[in-house]
């Protein structure tokens, strides 16, 4: 039996409000075929399952998936329920969706996977669940950024630590040649930079403009990050024959004791940080 428009509306309302008991009653009274109630609510592509995630209701998520909701339904921008749950930090929903078989690699239109979303927002519990569900810790979005770069950009050191424990490539770069260390340096996140350095990140791995992380930190005035990199031993160099002394040849100047650099040393990604 197909759910009536009234029943479909009630199901959507219950899911949006996270009212699991009411949703269970409606699903049980509607029969097995409730396709009309499970689809997108409007042009946004949001389904009752997406709404349950926004309501942080793992119980509603469980009820809807068991009743036949498409677990990997994508809204207008391509986000699945799992990606949304990961981005908003709904740990219980992430756990439920992973256990119910959601695709942990399904990306949105920008190429971001659930792990990117969780790392960007700093939701460590969600990161842990996704890694346990075998999410690809080295996946790249449309810009070539990895979850490690996403965590480094926003200073989420616990997420960085967790990803490094998963043995990701610490020097994996995006399409501009920007490494996670460069991202952390440009944004002044000392703890993240230090974790990356301790994991062996190359201090002189340059981007497409030939700019190393140290210069990026200087360009944006992050003195503590600069000091951390100046203390790193030459073994962290990935470019044969180069040492930290070679940074003197970079377009960096000292003005009144403050290191600075010209905009020409920044990739488009770094200029927008």
Is-above-0.85 flag for pTM? no
pLDDT digits (tens, 9 = 90+) for 157-183: 999 999 999 999 999 999 999 999 999
Q: What is the pLDDT of residue 158?
A: 98
pLDDT digits (tens, 9 = 90+) for 242-252: 333 333 334 33
Q: What is the pLDDT of residue 260?
A: 33
Q: What is the pLDDT of residue 268?
A: 52
Q: What is the pLDDT of residue 221?
A: 73
Q: What is the pLDDT of residue 134?
A: 97
d(CA 243, CA 15): 59
Q: What is the pLDDT of residue 30?
A: 57
Residues of the chain scoring pLDDT < 70: 1-5, 30-36, 229-273
């Amino acid at each position: 039996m197909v759910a009536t428009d009234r029943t479909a509306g009630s199901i959507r309302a219950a899911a949006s409000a996270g009212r699991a008991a009411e949703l269970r009653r409606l699903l049980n009274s509607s029969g097995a075929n409730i396709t009309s109630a499970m689809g997108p609510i409007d042009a946004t592509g949001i389904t009752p399952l997406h709404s349950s995630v926004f309501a942080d209701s793992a119980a509603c998520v469980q009820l809807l998936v068991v009743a036949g909701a498409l677990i990997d339904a994508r809204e207008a921008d391509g986000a699945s329920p799992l990606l949304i749950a990961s981005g908003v930090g709904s740990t219980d929903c992430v756990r439920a969706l992973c256990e119910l078989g959601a695709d942990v690699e399904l990306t949105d239109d920008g190429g971001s996977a659930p792990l990117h979303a969780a790392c960007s927002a700093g939701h460590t519990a969600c990161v842990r669940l996704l890694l346990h569900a075998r999410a690809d810790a080295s996946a790249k979005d449309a810009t070539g950024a990895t979850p490690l770069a996403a965590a480094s950009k926003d200073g989420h050191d616990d997420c960085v630590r967790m990803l490094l424990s998963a043995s990701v490539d610490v020097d994996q770069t995006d399409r501009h040649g920007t490494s996670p260390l460069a991202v952390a340096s440009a944004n002044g996140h000392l703890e993240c930079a230090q974790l990356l350095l301790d994991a062996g990140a190359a201090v002189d791995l340059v981007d497409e403009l030939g700019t190393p992380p140290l210069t990026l930190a200087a360009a944006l005035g992050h003195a503590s990050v600069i000091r951390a990199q100046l203390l790193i031993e030459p073994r962290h160099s990935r470019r044969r024959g180069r040492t930290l002394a070679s940074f003197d040849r970079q377009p960096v100047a000292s003005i009144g004791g403050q290191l600075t650099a010209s905009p020409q040393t920044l990739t488009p990604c770094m200029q927008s940080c």
